[in-house]
Structure 1
Amino acid sequence: TDSIEKGLYDPCDLERVQTENAYVHSFLQHTRGNQEKAVAMIDSSLRWRKELELSSLTESSFPREVHEIGAMFYRNEDRNGRKILYFRVSKSKKDPDKLLTVKKYVAWWLDKHFLKHPGVKIVPLFDMTDAGIGNMDIELIKFQIACFASYYPGLLDYMLIYEMPWVLNAIWKLIRNVLSAEQQKAVLFVKKAEIQQYVAPDHLFVHMGGTDTYTYTYMPSEDSGIEL
């Protein structure tokens, strides 16, 4: 009640909690039915959403060049039919001045699936091909992990890290230190020879040993307000 009176929640988010059972159930399921923990998690999530202004974010909230980079997009499914959120890590450049925008962009992409399909899991696939130290932002990675651990319950099935360069192993060791044992089990490091255990060839890009020749091209949606 205090949080509502202090304006710590966005009215749109509050209405969702009050009217969409599936949304609330995703938090209860994540906390294994512990109502006290679920309420605390919802409170934390609503505050976080208000801080990022998530409910008001649209396609046109981001500069066209952010979309055109193609650093993340949904494409294909894994062998269990889970939608894959593909991250091209080499397209991401560490830039403190743009970190907030990038965080909002990541959350916006997660939001698109989570609000439309609460309780339906996805598989983030981090493609490390051609990635180097300049592409690794620990703050951003921690943010992405927090999204799955705290703000989008039940969204993560597991996470694939494809072809991690040895020079980045030290950075990932730092990140793994902040993960719980359960979260660590959900992060799978795979090579080209192994990834087909999780994703069929026709759902993999050619450079990963698959047959998908898709090339990302940004096309604004008709109602985006972004000029073609």
Structure 2
Amino acid sequence: GFHPADIDRINNREKWLRLFIEYNDLDLKKALTQLWDTCAWRKSFGTNDLDASKMHQEYLHEGFMFPKNRDINGKRLLIFRSKLYVRGTKNMDDVKRLLVYWVERVMYREEDLDQISVFFDLKDSGLSNMDMEYTRYIINLFKFYYPNSLNFIIIFEMPWILNTTFKIIKTLLPAKAVARMKFVNSKTLNEFVDESNMLTIWGGNE
């Protein structure tokens, strides 16, 4: 059986069901299949029982991934500081668990199932900071288990050396996700994040 918290969500949270239905363009059969698969994954992954004490403490606090502030539509930002993540130096299972923990904590526990925006800060990053295994995991997580959950995918200050990498990433994304990708720099970021929500490293006040 599924986790009691997810059964309760199915019975009492129409908002959760609507995420699956809208993502599947009102195809109820597809939505139900995805919901079933999601509940099975949530049970096996233990999503409802994740808390900070179960995370790799160094990863939790070193600042390569964290939620902070909001986008222009009031949606919480989940920020990835790419230059602080070097491919091959971290335990992949722990990094994956940390991602799920933050999505669960922000979207399910703090924001009442509201969408979030994923912010990839690529300033000063290079090829060693790009991890295709982890990137695929992020894409599949939102594609299969957190449908219709992203407001924007903000790509900040992408270096030219990563152009080819991002062309590959685009081919992995569903069309709906590609439409939400916004490539910005310090001059255009305010189209998606206002100054009061910008970190100082992006030219803001936070």
TM value normalised by structure 1: 0.81
Alignment correspondent of 1:61: 54
Question: Residues 115 and 151 of structure 2 are in contact (CA less than 8 Å); yes or no, is this contact kept in structure 1?
Answer: yes
Give, in angstroms, the shift of residue 23 of structure 1.
2.0
Alignment-mate amino acid for residue 63 of structure 1: H
Alignment correspondent of 2:35: 42
Question: Residues 67 and 77 of structure 2 are in contact (CA less than 8 Å); yes or no, is this contact kept in structure 1?
Answer: yes
Question: What percentage of residue pairs aligned between the two structures are identical?
Answer: 27
Alignment correspondent of 2:93: 100
Question: Residues 119 and 154 of structure 2 are in contact (CA less than 8 Å); yes or no, is this contact kept in structure 1?
Answer: yes
Instruction: Specify which of 135, 140, 150 is matched with residue 141 of structure 1.
Output: 135
- Partner of 2:67: helix, strand, or coil? strand
- Partner of 1:171: helix, strand, or coil? helix
Alignment correspondent of 2:172: 178
Are positions 1:199 and 2:201 aligned together?
A: no
Instruction: Specify which of 159, 183, 192 is matched with residue 165 of structure 1.
Output: 159
- Partner of 2:91: helix, strand, or coil? helix
Alignment-mate amino acid for residue 185 of structure 1: A
Distance 1:200 1:185 in 2: 21
TM value normalised by structure 2: 0.89
- Partner of 1:125: helix, strand, or coil? strand
Q: How does 1:15-54 map to 2 (within 5 A)?
A: 15-54=8-47
Distance 2:63 2:89 in 1: 19
Aligned CA RMSD, in angstroms, stands at 2.0
- Partner of 1:160: helix, strand, or coil? strand
Q: Unaligned 5+ residue runs, structure 2? A: none
Q: How many equivalent pairs are there?
A: 205
- Partner of 1:177: helix, strand, or coil? helix
Deviations 1:89-142 (A, max 9, x none): 112222386111111110111111232345411111110122222221111111
Comparing 112-121 and 100-109, the one that deviates more: 112-121
- Partner of 2:172: helix, strand, or coil? coil
Give, in angstroms, the shift of residue 29 of structure 1.
2.8
Give, in angstroms, the shift of residue 30 of structure 1.
2.3
- Partner of 1:189: helix, strand, or coil? strand
Distance 2:47 2:137 in 1: 15
Alignment correspondent of 1:78: 71
Whichever of the two has the greater Rg, that structure is 1
Alignment-mate amino acid for residue 41 of structure 1: Q
